[in-house]
Structure 1
Amino acid sequence: MYPELGQLALILALLLAVLLSVVPLVGSLTGRDNLQAFARPLASGVFVFIGLSFAILTHAFLTDDFSVAYVANNSNSLLPWYFKFSAVWGGHEGSLLLWILMLSGWTMAVAVFSRRLPAVMISQVLSILGMVSVGFMLFIIVTSNPFDRLLPNVPMDGADLNPLLQDFGLIVHPPMLYMGYVGFSVAFAFAIAALINGRLDAAWARWSRPWTTVAWAFLSVGIALGSWWAYYELGWGGWWFWDPVENASLLPWLSGTALMHSLAVTEKRGVFKSWTVLLAIVTFSLSLLGTFLVRSGVLTSVHAFASDPERGTFLLVLLAVTIIASLTLYAFRAPVVHVRSRYGSFSREIFLLLNNVLLVSATLLVAVGTLYPLVLDFLDMGRLSIGEPFFNLTFSPLAIAAGLLMGVGVFSRWKKTDAGWLARKLLWPLAVSVLISTAVMVGYGGFTPWAFLGIFTSVWVTTATFWDLWDKSASRKGRIHGLKRQSRSYYGMVFGHLGLAITMAGATVVSNYGIERDVRMVPGDVAELGDYQVVFKEIGERRGPNFTAQYGSFDVLLDGKLVSELHPEKRQYAVAMSVMTEADIDGGLFRDIFVAVGERISDDAWAIRIQYKPLIRWLWLGALFMATGGFLAVSDRRYRIREPVARSTTKPVSDPTDVQGAAGAVS
């Protein structure tokens, strides 16, 4: 009975989403306040019924209801309860339901926290989010119903969750990633609503900016968690493989980063408005593209959920409709936007524009490298593999250029910056960065051009950021007062830039100075790993809740002293009949020692993978800094709208006199 209630809740949510798509939009276009008033109650109703459906599916997993096909295919009675809970989104149908739950949650949040926005704007935003919800709910009901029954032939037990997914990473990674993916739908909805109204002004950017920043912060955490999960779970010790599905999450992050910077310029100066709207459309479209790649069957990946052509066709149609409709509206409405604002060659506007050009170029590069082989295969024009060497060779220069530009841009000023003053300002940070980078290279004992450029860029961004912070803290009442005087938005920028520098430092050092060895070892053998020695002591056995494992005991020594004891495992899952490698890692802020047990070579000999990973944790530490910066920025008090917005502000921005007024009001 409960599964039928879950399906009924899905259908009711779909009906409410259809009403949300139509009724408030009609009200906003006809000026009928009574119809616009339905927007918030309908958004709440969609969230309640989707939440009820998700809760019922969760109950089916926790109670081992194997009459539900999705539960039978992705769970087992021996599975620990916390993995049963995360198994709700461990397969295609449940992950899609989680996606829709997140979407309804974002819609509900917009309805709750935007009460002082103009009724016309919020009605259109919620209607557009309702349209997106309709598309995905039709997809799940028509092609991916998670409540399909196996009656009357109910299996005695389930097929088990994929052993790769029986990990803490499944509990935290997909929800964070989906919060970012789906969050960009809000920026998309605000952009489309602004196009409909012709209101591409600074106020629109201010309303949209915090939602975009929060989505970007969640996506940053989600990508970092995915990288961390792959690092310790897959047994190969890598942190990024340029897998097409990994790239699918990187694409909206890159364009979303450009969107955040473009929104900042639009809010502050009232310029780049058409560019900002286009980036909002592209970023959400790339989120949909990621959904298509994972669920269409065009990819074979450990990340992919489905291989059903019917599902792929449905998603492709949804993606095409979204892109074509939004770009058509953009083509008609964007040209009417006029901006009267001038800025010099070394202004902050120019540096942010160049930054966006680099980010968009990186997005296009990753998109082409990911999609080109798929298109060739689809057209039967042969198979082509574009892997890590291509992306490292082409992406790295763009990342370094963006970092170098960031260090310069932080000192620039709006409208105009004197070139001589800027050059003098950069002199000391440049000298300090060269000295520190050289010292780091000497410390790691080797020089390569790319390693130096990567380290220099990360040090340059860090030095420039702290130098700017020191300048801004100058005050007659002391430095502490000067620091307190800065806004949370500014500190969000500081954390974001430092996070990028930390991540770049980690990626550069671990890629150029890491040590990897695959060795044959028997108990008693010692393997050298840089300054460390890894001693293979013995092989033992243990039993888990739904697996048996052979584990190796290893001592890690430094100068003859014990540093840590590691116990990597080779697990055999009885139900799934699969073997998994579980690495063990001695982690630290400045290095990791990674040990994984491979195949048995002979009666007493094993293939062992040992790795020394300097600064690898800085990759994920930097992502946490960036996410913290995002959340800190949206807490800035200027995003708390205290006064209701007058109806007169809905005047289309095509009136050029409105640009400077709107920008001044926000500043």
Structure 2
Amino acid sequence: MIPEMGHFALIIGLALALLLAIVPAWGAWQRNSHAMALAPRLAIGQLVFVGISFVCLATAFLQDDFSVAVVANNSNSLLPAIYKFSALWGNHEGSLLLWSLILCLWTAAVALFSPQLPLLVLSRVLAVMGAVGVGFLSFSLFTSNPFARLLPSVPADGNDLNPLLQDPGLIIHPPLLYMGYVGFSVAFAFAIAALLGGRLDASWARWSRPWTNVAWAFLTLGIMLGSWWAYYELGWGGWWFWDPVENASFMPWLAGTALIHSLAVTEKRGLFKSWTVLLAIFAFSLSLLGTFLVRSGVLTSVHAFATDPARGMFILVFLAIVVGGSLTLYALRAPAVSSRVSFSWVSRESLLLFNNIVFLVSTLTVLFGTLFPLIVDALGMGKVSVGPPYFNAVFVPLMALLAPLMGFGPVSRWKRDDTQRWKAELMLPGIAAVVCAATLPLLGADYNLWVALAVLLAAWLVFGLLRDIWFRIGGISGFPRKLGRLTPSYWGMVMAHLGFAACIIGVVATSQYSIEHDLKMSPGDTDTVAGYEFRFLEVAQVRGPNFVADESRFEVTRDGEVVANLAPQKRRYLAGGSVMTEAAIDAGLFRDLFVAMGEPIGEEGAWAIRLHYKPMVRWMWLGAIFMAVGGLTTALDKRYRRQRSRAATAAREVQYAS
């Protein structure tokens, strides 16, 4: 009965999404305030019923209702309760329902937390989001019904959740990633609403900017958690593999990064309006493309849902409608949204323009590398592989080109600036960065030119930011009185740039200084990696809630002192017999010690063992957290929460209606 209730609630949710897509849009066209006023209520109603559907499916998982196909295929009675719940989105049907629920959350959030928006604009935005909801809820109901039954042949037990997904990473990573993916639908909806109204001004950018920053922050956290999850779960010791599904989330992030910078220029100076609209369309379109890649069956990946290509065709048609319709509307409205504001090539605008070009080229580079093998295969020209050598060769130089100019951004002025002033402002930070690049790598085992370059770029960013903060507060006389006057938007920029600097250090240091030993070890054997002695003590049999495992135990010492006890496992899951590697990691701010078990080797008690020393690998993820917190902090700026008086709102209504 509960699955039928969930199915019925999902149908009602689709009906409300359809009404949300039609009624407010008609009201905006006819200037019918009553029809437009229904938009927030329809958005909240849609969330309520899709939320009921989600709860019903979660109940089916928690109660081991194996008459529901998705539960039988992705759960098991022995599975711990927390993984039974997260198994809901560890499959195509359930994850699509989660996607739809998050879309409804974003839609309701816009309806509830946008009191400053004119009703005409709000109704258009919510109508666009309703149309997107119609697409995904239709996809769920007509091709991927999560409540399909297996009656009358109900299995006694389920097939179990993929062991790769039986991890805390599954609980957090997909919801955060989807919050970012789907969040770009808000920026897309604001862009389409502005095009429909024929007006793109500073107000439009100010309304859209906090939502875009929050979506970008969630996507940043989602990608970071995915990298961390792959690092410790897959047993390879790597943090990024340029996997097509990894790229599917990275491409919207790159486009979204360009978008948040472009929105800043549009809000401040009324520039880049056409560019900003295209980036909003591009970012959301790449989110849909990622959905297609993951769910169409066109690629093979440990991250992908291997599904019926017919489902991929549905998303492909939906993607074509979204992209084609958006670009057609843009072409019709382009003359009305073009910018007519000038700026000097020595100004903050020019730096942000260059920033956007680099991010856009980077996005297209990753897009080409991801789709090229699929295109070649579809044309019957054989199978080709595009891997890390290509991506590293083209992507890394672009980021290295971007970092130097990022140091100029915070100290530059709008409209017109002077290179002599830049020189005076940044001479001291530049000297300090060079000194750091010349000396800090000497603290490692060897002086490495790539690490020195990374330190130079990161130090340049950090010292440039510190110099700018010092200038803004007026030196020691303004501390701490003027420090509190700096806006959340400014602090968000500072944190995001500091996070980028930390990522540079982490990526280069771990790629240049990592040490990996793959060897055969028996109990009693030792091996030394980067000055750490790993002693293989024993192998023991352990039992978990739904698995049995061989657990090897290592003692790690340095200079005769014990620094860690590590216990990696080789697990065999009882339901399906799958074998999985669980690495053991001693984590630290400046290094990780990583041990993973391979297969038993011939001799009694001998195993294939992987020992890794990973310097500063955590700096990448800490940097990503800083960037995400920066995005969230920017959204807290009071100018995004400022409510208008009724008179001002009424005046704005008249302005947009005219």
| Correspondence 1:616 to 2:613 | no
Task: Show the counterpart of 1:406.
Answer: 406
Distance in 2 between residues matched to 1:234 and 1:184, nearest whole Å: 30
Flag the 1:72–1:163 CA change in 2: closer, same or farther, 3 A.
Answer: same
State the 1:651 CA deviation.
Answer: 7.8
TM-score by length of 2: 0.98
Whichever residue aligns with residue 348 of structure 2, its letter is: R
Task: Show the counterpart of 2:216.
Answer: 216
Distance in 2 between residues matched to 1:455 and 1:247, nearest whole Å: 27
Distance in 2 between residues matched to 1:200 and 1:289, nearest whole Å: 27
Task: Show the counterpart of 1:228.
Answer: 228
| Correspondence 1:634 to 2:608 | no
Distance in 1 between residues matched to 2:155 and 2:478, nearest whole Å: 72
Task: Show the counterpart of 1:281.
Answer: 281
Say which SS state the counterpart of residue 555 (structure 1) adopts.
Answer: strand
8 Å contact from structure 1 (residues 200, 652) kept in 2: no
Deviates more, 1:469-478 or 1:319-328: 469-478
8 Å contact from structure 1 (residues 296, 309) kept in 2: yes
Task: Show the counterpart of 2:258.
Answer: 258
Output one character per residue of 1:354-380: Cα deviation in whole Å (capped at 9) or x when no partner: 001000010011000111111111111
Say which SS state the counterpart of residue 504 (structure 2) adopts.
Answer: helix
1:20-35 correspondence runs (5 A): 20-35=20-35
Whichever residue aligns with residue 90 of structure 1, its letter is: G
State the 1:475 CA deviation.
Answer: 6.3
Task: Show the counterpart of 2:384.
Answer: 384
8 Å contact from structure 2 (residues 179, 215) kept in 1: yes
Say which SS state the counterpart of residue 592 (structure 2) adopts.
Answer: strand
Output one character per residue of 1:22-77: Cα deviation in whole Å (capped at 9) or x when no partner: 00000001111111111011111110000000000000000100010000000000
8 Å contact from structure 2 (residues 115, 643) kept in 1: no
State the 1:105 CA deviation.
Answer: 0.3
8 Å contact from structure 1 (residues 194, 204) kept in 2: yes
Distance in 2 between residues matched to 1:137 and 1:43, nearest whole Å: 14
Say which SS state the counterpart of residue 572 (structure 2) adopts.
Answer: strand
| Correspondence 1:168 to 2:168 | yes
8 Å contact from structure 1 (residues 199, 651) kept in 2: no
Task: Show the counterpart of 1:593.
Answer: 593
1:151-230 correspondence runs (5 A): 151-230=151-230
Task: Show the counterpart of 1:556.
Answer: 556
Deviates more, 1:639-648 or 1:567-576: 639-648
Distance in 1 between residues matched to 2:529 and 2:475, nearest whole Å: 51
State the 1:125 CA deviation.
Answer: 0.3
Q: Work out the number of aligned pairs and report it.
A: 654
8 Å contact from structure 1 (residues 266, 273) kept in 2: yes
Whichever residue aligns with residue 613 of structure 1, its letter is: K
Whichever residue aligns with residue 634 of structure 2, its letter is: A
8 Å contact from structure 2 (residues 588, 618) kept in 1: yes
1:470-485 correspondence runs (5 A): 470-474=470-474, 478-485=478-485
Deviates more, 1:335-344 or 1:143-152: 335-344
State the 1:456 CA deviation.
Answer: 1.6
Whichever residue aligns with residue 155 of structure 2, its letter is: P
8 Å contact from structure 2 (residues 425, 467) kept in 1: no
| Correspondence 1:102 to 2:102 | yes
Flag the 1:339–1:648 CA change in 2: closer, same or farther, 3 A.
Answer: farther
Say which SS state the counterpart of residue 482 (structure 2) adopts.
Answer: helix
8 Å contact from structure 1 (residues 451, 508) kept in 2: yes
1:14-413 correspondence runs (5 A): 14-413=14-413
State the 1:543 CA deviation.
Answer: 0.5
Say which SS state the counterpart of residue 386 (structure 1) adopts.
Answer: coil
Sequence identity, in percent? 56
Distance in 2 between residues matched to 1:547 and 1:621, nearest whole Å: 33
Output one character per residue of 1:138-161: Cα deviation in whole Å (capped at 9) or x when no partner: 101111001000111111100000
| Correspondence 1:606 to 2:607 | yes
Distance in 2 between residues matched to 1:477 and 1:463, nearest whole Å: 20
Task: Show the counterpart of 1:658.
Answer: none
Whichever residue aligns with residue 31 of structure 1, its letter is: R
Deviates more, 1:171-180 or 1:530-539: 530-539
Could you tell me which runs of 5 or more consecutive residues in structure 1 were left unpaired when the two chains were aligned: 656-667
Distance in 1 between residues matched to 2:127 and 2:436, nearest whole Å: 53
Distance in 2 between residues matched to 1:566 and 1:109, nearest whole Å: 45
Whichever residue aligns with residue 60 of structure 2, its letter is: A
8 Å contact from structure 1 (residues 100, 137) kept in 2: yes
Distance in 2 between residues matched to 1:364 and 1:192, nearest whole Å: 23
Deviates more, 1:481-490 or 1:436-445: 436-445
Task: Show the counterpart of 2:535.
Answer: 535
Distance in 1 between residues matched to 2:254 and 2:241, nearest whole Å: 17
8 Å contact from structure 1 (residues 92, 305) kept in 2: yes
Whichever residue aligns with residue 587 of structure 2, its letter is: G
Distance in 2 between residues matched to 1:416 and 1:89, nearest whole Å: 51
Whichever residue aligns with residue 154 of structure 1, its letter is: V
Distance in 2 between residues matched to 1:80 and 1:595, nearest whole Å: 26
Flag the 1:398–1:299 CA change in 2: closer, same or farther, 3 A.
Answer: same
Say which SS state the counterpart of residue 177 (structure 1) adopts.
Answer: helix
8 Å contact from structure 1 (residues 100, 136) kept in 2: yes
Task: Show the counterpart of 1:574.
Answer: 574
Deviates more, 1:421-430 or 1:137-146: 421-430
Distance in 2 between residues matched to 1:541 and 1:466, nearest whole Å: 54
Flag the 1:519–1:651 CA change in 2: closer, same or farther, 3 A.
Answer: farther
State the 1:340 CA deviation.
Answer: 3.2
8 Å contact from structure 1 (residues 475, 481) kept in 2: no
Distance in 2 between residues matched to 1:155 and 1:599, nearest whole Å: 33
State the 1:442 CA deviation.
Answer: 1.3
Output one character per residue of 1:576-610: Cα deviation in whole Å (capped at 9) or x when no partner: 11100000000001100000011111222111000
Distance in 1 between residues matched to 2:496 and 2:204, nearest whole Å: 23
Task: Show the counterpart of 1:643.
Answer: 644
Output one character per residue of 1:212-256: Cα deviation in whole Å (capped at 9) or x when no partner: 000000000000000000000000010000000000000000000
State the 1:649 CA deviation.
Answer: 3.9
Distance in 2 between residues matched to 1:51 and 1:650, nearest whole Å: 33
Distance in 1 between residues matched to 2:454 and 2:281, nearest whole Å: 32
Whichever residue aligns with residue 151 of structure 2, its letter is: L
Distance in 2 between residues matched to 1:510 and 1:630, nearest whole Å: 26
Distance in 1 between residues matched to 2:450 and 2:382, nearest whole Å: 33
Distance in 2 between residues matched to 1:57 and 1:144, nearest whole Å: 13
1:490-509 correspondence runs (5 A): 490-509=490-509
8 Å contact from structure 1 (residues 199, 650) kept in 2: no
Say which SS state the counterpart of residue 618 (structure 1) adopts.
Answer: helix
1:505-524 correspondence runs (5 A): 505-524=505-524
Task: Show the counterpart of 1:661.
Answer: none
Distance in 2 between residues matched to 1:305 and 1:340, nearest whole Å: 47
Whichever residue aligns with residue 630 of structure 1, its letter is: G
Whichever residue aligns with residue 637 of structure 2, its letter is: D
8 Å contact from structure 2 (residues 505, 619) kept in 1: yes
Distance in 2 between residues matched to 1:607 and 1:72, nearest whole Å: 35
Distance in 2 between residues matched to 1:591 and 1:465, nearest whole Å: 27
Output one character per residue of 1:317-339: Cα deviation in whole Å (capped at 9) or x when no partner: 01111000001101110222243
State the 1:485 CA deviation.
Answer: 1.2
State the 1:301 CA deviation.
Answer: 0.7
Distance in 1 between residues matched to 2:116 and 2:419, nearest whole Å: 43
8 Å contact from structure 2 (residues 182, 287) kept in 1: yes
Deviates more, 1:420-429 or 1:642-651: 642-651
Distance in 2 between residues matched to 1:341 and 1:185, nearest whole Å: 28
State the 1:201 CA deviation.
Answer: 0.1
Distance in 2 between residues matched to 1:122 and 1:302, nearest whole Å: 40
Computed over aligned residues only, the root mean square deviation of the Cα atoms, in angstroms, reads: 1.3
